[in-house]
Amino acid sequence: MQPVVLITGVLGGIGQAVCERFAASGWRVFGTDLDATGLAGLQAAGKVVGAHAADIRKPGACREVVAALLASTGRLDALVNCAGVWREGPVETFSEEDFDIVLDVNLKATFFMCSASIPALRESKGAIVNISSDAGRQGNRNAAAYCASKGAVTVMTKALALDLAPDGVRCNSVSPGDVETPMLKFQAERYGNGDMSAYYQELLAKYPQGEAARFIQPGEVADLVFFLCQSSTRSITGADLAIDCGVSAGN
């Protein structure tokens, strides 16, 4: 029986890369995102065996996604939480609306997707991989809400690993640096003050490679996520693995 992976935020840059990596290795992929039309396109292209559009900030929607998956595939072997959003700005002017969306998408949705998936993962002795961030390991300027959300994801994952270890379910987080995705482009367009190139250069300036610094590619993140979901890595649980070109190494 081919294993099944559930990917949230499957239409995003990292989500699509994770989808392609698992599908290329013979896994059945079930995806969720907000965009029903985009999900239908993935299904039509044969990239997923099933999909369910949902606002996973709502616990009930998370349960609906897992129910739809089980009705379609009959099992769940891995959950990969890729859904995420970025907002930045000084705390004194940061809006409640931006705070809520960052915490709801990055943390609350991840928490309740784990909650909804755990019973099925117990049966398969499966794995959870949560996409965190270098901002979950260190403070980043003008990103207090994002850092709070990702720091919480990282430590929550460790707590889940302890809770679920007796059941044979492994939980790990992956913490990328700046990944070349549509979200990174959104950051530069929204917060770059009209100069996306300068925004990118400011991000790359923190990397230890100097002039050779580059953004992480989604496929690199996907390879690491896939590795963590293999039976050969059953000794790895409760880990937070950085994939950030060393940007967090000194913190």
- Residue 14 tokens read as 């990292």
CB 176 within 8 A of CB 133: yes
CB 175 within 8 A of CB 243: yes
Using H for helix, E for strand and C for coil, what is the string for 96-151?
HHHHHHHHHHHHHHHHHHHHHHHHHHHHHCCEEEEECCHHHCCCCCCCHHHHHHHH
Cα–Cα distance measured from residue 9 to residue 12, given in angstroms and rounded to the nearest whole number: 6
What is the rounded distance in angstroms from the CA atom of residue 125 to the CA atom of residue 134?
Answer: 28
- Active site positions, annotated: 146
Cα dist from 48 to 26, 45, 239, whole Å: 11, 8, 28
CA angle 219, 224, 226 (to 5 degrees): 90
Question: At 227, which helix (H) or strand (E)?
Answer: helix 218-228
- Which two three-digit tokens encode residue 233? 């890595």
Residue 133 and residue 130: Cα distance in Å, rounded?
Answer: 10
Residue with structure tokens 């590619």? 217
